[in-house]
Structure 1
């Protein structure tokens, strides 16, 4: 009759020290605790391979991180696998690889790879907006999920709260961005097909909303209102710069002194700060030069023209002009992006060439040959157009003096 092994106790393990005679403690059924002279205590399980019948050992970890109860649970799990002719060592190794692969191909992990490519094609502000929307609406529920396990019903369920709230434009953008991630995963071989290609069809379409703007003839009224509104010098001048330069809010707020080519009377905004990732050149007009000269004593030694009063080295927020318009009561009447619409309407009504206007608006010309021609030839022709537009604004300011009691809000 074989010697019966007495089960170990936690006290016995805690007090055990290695000896030459007995460097290993036995709990029975193959579970052992190997004592090392360094003081470490390592669990291992002895078993026979289900097919070769050779003796094998599996390391189960170190005590006390792996407790006696933990080690016994692993022994029971191994015995259950062996009863099915499954080698526990190979099974656990395969499971570890599967978990590592699942982590490497989680939605968040693949999204990070996609984002490294995406952010080279968009402005920094837009890249921040993209990632923030994923952090807020997608990653909390699906970030750790293997991308191959994401299905249309699962994704729809996660986005349903956005549909319930009625934020359909946000929902549309999130669907579009996750679809781009899925397409990236398909193109890089992570998944075979995109299961979310038509998921937007599960939700109502957002109503097309144009950004609020006004007609050019209403500009004097707005200028009269802003003249009587208390805003900082940087925000006031950024408003007028946006108007004269026909610039997007972010392009205006992030204007840098290094962008100004005084010798050639140009503003040269580098591609990385433009929405379409193409360098944009704007002819300077006398009123635009006056704005820059007004800002020189304030920020001339700094990086940004419209320096933030709250961040010594940074620009004003791209939404600062919008905030000022809201304080004027124009929230539903005019936004900073709508200033570009005023310019576009006025320039088109006056009969300027559509190509000149589109170039001034920094809209992307899909014809590469013509786009190259635009950058070289159009500058001088655009200068005349920009000077006409600046004169239109100056006249509106003169007219505003007689309209100070009027409002359009």
Structure 2
């Protein structure tokens, strides 16, 4: 199998040659140094070459995905490709330690999405499939969960496009299907009742909580 590092080292020779990758995909190196992706498929007892594009315009991962898509179109035995679980692992490697809600987001995705369709190929996942998975969650009244699931799933697909796993995000506009959840804020104390609150804080709250409360008032912070 080819690697990006190996492709870089391939030099032109006196005659054109090609290096095989997998499932009929090969990289053809011209005498001029131009490198092209070709897919070799069986046709009527012979072999036909289908040109997919040039390297580095098309990366190794993109070429493999294009080859798989072409094989599916031609109803040939589809080889394994990148799954949603692969893309999820890639997302985890980039988000761990970078977002405060990483642990909750990861557990939520694993519970509702990855456990159900994690082994599916990325190019077989469609908006209707995601909608069918998410609709029961919405009906149970968990609109905020739906919002976060769709946002992070869409993010996983966006990262998959950037990584070359797929060429486009099929669920880029899926959030438009579901209504924006209504957020109910915590009730606030009327300013006229503030003296009562202050007296209760003075009488009942431990010293550190009194200081925290006064600091919140002085700096207009939301109380924790």
Question: TM-score by structure 2 length?
Answer: 0.55
Per the alignment, residue 107 of structure 1 pairs with 84
Q: Which residue of 1 aligns with 2:213?
A: 243
Shift of 1:113: 1.4
> Per the alignment, do residues 243 and 226 of structure 1 end up closer, same or farther by CA in structure 2, a change over 3 Å counting?
closer
What is the DSSP-based 3-state SS (H/G/I as helix, E as strand, rest coil) of the residue aligned with 2:99?
coil
The match for 2:163 is: 188
Q: 2:146 aligns with which of 171, 180, 185?
A: 171
How far apart, CA to CA, are the structure 2 residues paired with 1:168 and 1:115?
Answer: 24
1:3-18 residue pairs with structure 2 within 5 A? none
**In structure 1, distance between residues paired with 2:110 and 2:211:** 34
Q: CA deviation at 1:213?
A: 2.9
Question: CA shift at 1:206, angstroms?
Answer: 1.1
- Displacement of 1:150: 0.9
SS in 2 for 1:180: helix
CA contact (8 A) 2:201 2:210 kept: no
CA RMSD of aligned residues (A): 3.5
For 1:128-187, what per-residue CA distance to the aligned partner results, in whole angstroms no more than 9, with x for missing partners? 111121122112211222222110000000001012112111111110011111100011
Structure 2 portions without partners, runs of 5+ = 1-43, 47-75
Which structure has the bigger radius of gyration? 1
Aligned to 1:212: 187
Structure 1 unaligned runs (5+)? 1-83, 87-93, 247-342, 348-356, 362-409
Render the CA deviation track for 1:313-350: whole Å, top value 9, x for unaligned. xxxxxxxxxxxxxxxxxxxxxxxxxxxxxx4xx76xxx
- Alpha-carbon distance, 1:240 to partner: 4.5
3-state SS in 2 of match to 1:182? helix
1:189-234 deviations in whole A, cap 9, x for unaligned? 11111111111122222113334332444345446667888x9x7x
Residue in 2 that maps onto 1:154: 129
Question: What CA distance in whole angstroms lies between the structure 2 residues aligned with 1:111 and 1:196?
Answer: 15
Judged with a 3 Å threshold, the aligned counterparts in structure 2 of structure 1 residues 138 and 223 are, in CA distance, closer, same or farther, namely: farther
Alignment counterpart, residue 95 of structure 2, candidates 86, 110, 118? 118
Which residue of 1 is the match for residue 117 of structure 2? 142
Q: Secondary structure at the match of 1:138?
A: helix
- Quick one: distance in 2 between partners of 1:242 and 1:168? 33
How many Å separate the matches in 2 of 1:153 and 1:224? 57
Question: 1:258 maps to which residue?
Answer: none
